[in-house]
Amino acid sequence: MKIYLKFDFNTICRKVLEDRLNDKNIKYRILSFGEVEFLDQISKEEQKALFGELNEYGIEIIENQKSALVQKIKDTIVDMVFSERDVNVKASVYLAEKLNHSYGYLSNLFSEVTYTSIENFIILQKIEHSKQLIVNDKLTLTEIAYRLNYSSVAHLSTQFKNTTGITPSQFQKIISKRREIANKK
């Protein structure tokens, strides 16, 4: 038997973080995604144990200010792209408002640390989300293009093909074929 899952990484990470902190009786406050404030002092040993446990789940502690801001940029982009709410504002404006920095500064910092542009990262996230929408929600390409703020299906298709090497229609056919084969078993 095979089942298909849909999950939210932000919710999973938050739950893991809360569970680990609560298990260790650490008083904390989650300020925003990826940012936690400890309300009491914790020893170096407690920190090391906590950081080790979180690392098992792929959650790393960022100690460098630039890397921390780049992670916030990534988290904000993922939230913007994957959110169900209508974010019909330019990415540059959205990021600048959410992170309280000029877009120029954010863009330069992101490129310096990641060796790619914010625009490329946004495209990658949009394509990942479009693949999830094709697999899980069975939306039309027109609906997906609209949801991801593409100007047209052609624009979505061009970016999809440039990123994955196949068109969204070909991807849909592959998924349909896999489902047919899985259902026959």
Per-residue pLDDT of 93-116, as tens digits, reads 999 999 999 999 999 999 998 999
- 163-175 residues labelled b (16+ CB within 10 A) or e (exposed): beeeebeebbeee
Q: Whose structure tokens read 């992170």?
A: 99
Domains and CATH numbers, the chain: 9-56 (no CATH), 65-184 (1.10.10.60)
Percentage of the residues of the chain whose pLDDT score is greater than 90: 35
Query: Residue 74, Cα to own-chain centre: how many angstroms?
Result: 7
pLDDT band at residue 17 under the 50/70/90 scheme: confident
Start-end of H helices in 133-166 = 141-147, 153-164
In what helix (H) or strand (E) does residue 165 lie, and over which residues does it extend? none
Cβ neighbours of residue 28 under 8 Å, at least 6 residues apart?
A: 21, 36, 37, 38, 39
For the stretch 129-152, pLDDT in tens is: 999 998 887 788 999 998 898 989
pLDDT band at 86 (very low <50, low <70, confident <90, very high): low
Rounded to whole angstroms, the Cα distance separating 137 from 48 reads: 41
Rounded mean pLDDT, 73-98: 84
CB count in 10 Å sphere of residue 72: 20
> What is the predicted pLDDT for the residue at 155?
95
What is the C-alpha separation between 150 and 29, in angstroms, rounded? 37
- In angstroms, rounded to a whole number, what is the distance separating the alpha carbons of residues 52 and 90? 38
* pLDDT classification of 87: cutoffs 50, 70, 90: low
**Is residue 20 within 8 Å of residue 50, measured between CB atoms?**
yes
